[in-house]
Structure 1
Amino acid sequence: MEWAGPGPFALAAALDALTALLIGQWLLDRGRLGWRLAALAGLLFLLLLPVNGAGMAGIEITAVIPALPAILSTHFGFTWLAGIVVMACLISVALRQQPDARLSGMALLALAYLRACTGHVADAGMLSLAALVHTLHLLAAGAWAGSVLVFVARYGFGQRTFDAHAARRLSQIAAWALLLIALSGAANVWRMLNMAGPMVSGFWQQPWGLILKVKLLFVGIAVFLGASNRWSVLPALDLQQSGARQRFLALLWLEALAFVGVFVCAALLGATSPPMAM
């Protein structure tokens, strides 16, 4: 099947966005996590089993309950069970009065790893280099996109006083994340090109390749907007120039919209069969 259906696609996009928000919050707040955000991510992760299970079995969601034992015996089922344990740990850490940055960071790392292992990279094995590279890719993407989304949610509606120190921290996170995204993303594409084999000449014309091109376009837009903020607006913020904060937030809003497109494309890639050598 080329397309796994709208259910797994929509759920994957929402879960990836929430995971990014959790990573961004962890970075900007130095280890603190909101329990409501963690609980919502946990709820969506629970829904992965019936929604993806129905897609895998080719049945309606209402008929998935009798098939759950068989689904749980698959690689996806084992990964889902491990993910439930991770989500429970994440929520329990978020509920603590005193945040533990190490525990919450380990839980987010485990969540990103399990999300990587539920995608196409699972074909290479859970302990493969491909799985580790894709985990790094998800963490870096979450760091950049999540930090942007969290910052916009806090300061983009005028309900909080603009924090210039947080803006500089956001810029630093984005710069390091972009480097990791570029390296891990290039490794992922190289692996897919090798998998395509003789089809490599038509790789970018296949549905998976076309979606990847759109995703890269959104990433390019986000890079341009982020670079404009870092090299043009941040110096103006340091000089406390009039209108600098408004320009910073305006570019950040556009960057957040670009990341929405990235999440949609990433979910589409996960729901579409990549080109494979025959």
Structure 2
Amino acid sequence: MKADWLWIGQVAMAALVNVSYAFALGSALYGAWLDKDGRSPVSPARAASLRAQRSLRASALVLVVALLVWLLYESASISGEPLPAAFGVVSTVLAQTHVGLAWSVAFGGALVLLVTVFAAAGAVRDGVLWLALIATAAGRAALGHAADAGFASAALGLHTLHVLSASAWSGVVMAGGLAVLPVLGTSTARGILIRTSTQVSNVAMFAVGLVLATGVFNALRGTGGSLAALTESAWGHVLLVKLGLVALALVLGGYNRMVAMPELRRAASTAAARRFVNVIHLEAIVMIGVLVLAAVLARSVPGYMLQG
């Protein structure tokens, strides 16, 4: 990989896409979990429900903007033009490259998501919202190396599942630890925190299983089955660091599930609630690192290519 300013800009925008999409998905889940309790103005879940809504709207807006800027950087990279002049080749990239097609799917989903999050709540709105999230994930997956095997390929299908599951795991952690769960720390909201923490843990555990299964496939494909691709390439080094952060996130999530949550259910104390939220806050920071490294990997030459 050539770490020039153009590459850095592409990675920065890709990382922002990863984080904002995961935040949107996680916020949508919290919005669904807290919707019924949060409708009443006097409910202890009201503040958390409003935070979930605001987080969803903000992340959807950031996602649309990040995808637009990413396309400009990608057009400059493909054409060899300097960044300001890349505006003139955007239409060509969209019409004549697989990147343009994949980006159109991702951006279309993100744009529908942005419109939907400001619409009135209802079954139709919720259905469109989840379809938009899935479409965005499919487009994002096609922007990576998985599309090398073609749009109608098992590799792309599995990578789409990987994007969805990884975003669900990181999203409930980030949106929870950084936005929603801290306002459920009061004694009056303790029951809602306990119920929501169980939902977070169950979604995270299910998503982790899918992440590990699809991640193993992606890693084997990226290395070509050779351990040398991990140790002798920059791509492999980044992957190893990412795996280390994933392992740390698993440890933190495991601690919350095995230690903090049982204590929270048993004692329902302020100290137990604070401990659970603090750990998920730390896990959220680790997850941001994982998503940034995922963007670096997507813009780096896979190890198996460097191995020939």
- The answer (yes or no) to whether the contact 1:28–1:169 under 8 Å persists in 2 is no
Describe the shift of the 1:201–1:101 C-alpha distance in structure 2 as closer, same or farther (beyond 3 A).
Answer: same
Q: 1:97 aligns with which of 99, 114, 120?
A: 120
Partner of 2:216: 186
Query: 1:155 and 1:41 mapped to 2: Cα distance?
Result: 22
TM-score by length of 1: 0.91
TM-score relative to the length of structure 2: 0.83
Q: Structure 1 residue aligned with 2:24, among 18, 22, 25?
A: 22
Alpha-carbon RMSD? 2.0
1:193–1:203 CA contact under 8 A, matched in 2: yes
Amino acid at match of 2:252: L
CA–CA separation in structure 2 for the residues paired with 1:106 and 1:241: 37
What pairs up with 1:75-224 in 2 under 5 angstroms?
Answer: 75-99=98-122, 100-152=125-177, 153-156=179-182, 161=189, 163-194=193-224, 200-205=226-231, 206-224=233-251
Structure 1's 123 and 2: CA in aligned 2 closer, same or farther, altered over 3 A?
farther
Q: Which residue of 2 aligns with 1:64?
A: 86
- Give the letter for the 1:130 counterpart: A
Cα distance in 1 for partners of 2:182, 2:17 equals: 23
2:121 alignment partner, SS class = coil
CA shift at 1:98, angstroms?
Answer: 1.7
Q: Given the alignment of the two structures, is residue 273 of structure 1 paired with residue 289 of structure 2, yes or no? A: no
CA drift of 1:101 comes to 2.5
Distance 1:52 1:159, change over 3 A: farther
The answer to whether the aligner puts 1:54 opposite 2:80 as a matched pair is no
Letter in structure 2 aligned against 1:20: A
C-alpha distance in 2, partners of 1:69/1:13? 24
Alignment length (residue pairs) = 274
CA spacing shift, 1:30–1:149, aligned 2, 3 Å: same
- Number of the residue aligned with 2:279: 251
Determine the C-alpha separation between the residues in 2 that align with 1:45 and 1:151. 24
Q: Please state if 1:231 is matched with 2:254.
A: no
Q: Render the CA deviation track for 1:51-80: whole Å, top value 9, x for unaligned.
A: 111122233211112222332221111222
- Offset of residue 121 of structure 1: 1.0
> Counterpart amino acid of 2:301?
S
1:113-140 per-residue CA deviation (whole Å, 9 max, x = no partner) reads 1000001111111111001111111111
Alpha-carbon shift at residue 43 of structure 1 (Å): 1.6
* Structure 1 residues 108 and 257: CA distance shift in structure 2, 3 A: same
Take 2:141 and 2:58, find their aligned partners in 1: how far apart are those partners?
24
Q: Percent identity?
A: 30
Task: List alignment gaps of at least 5 residues for structure 2.
Answer: 36-52
Q: Partners of 1:19 and 1:69 in 2: how far apart?
A: 25
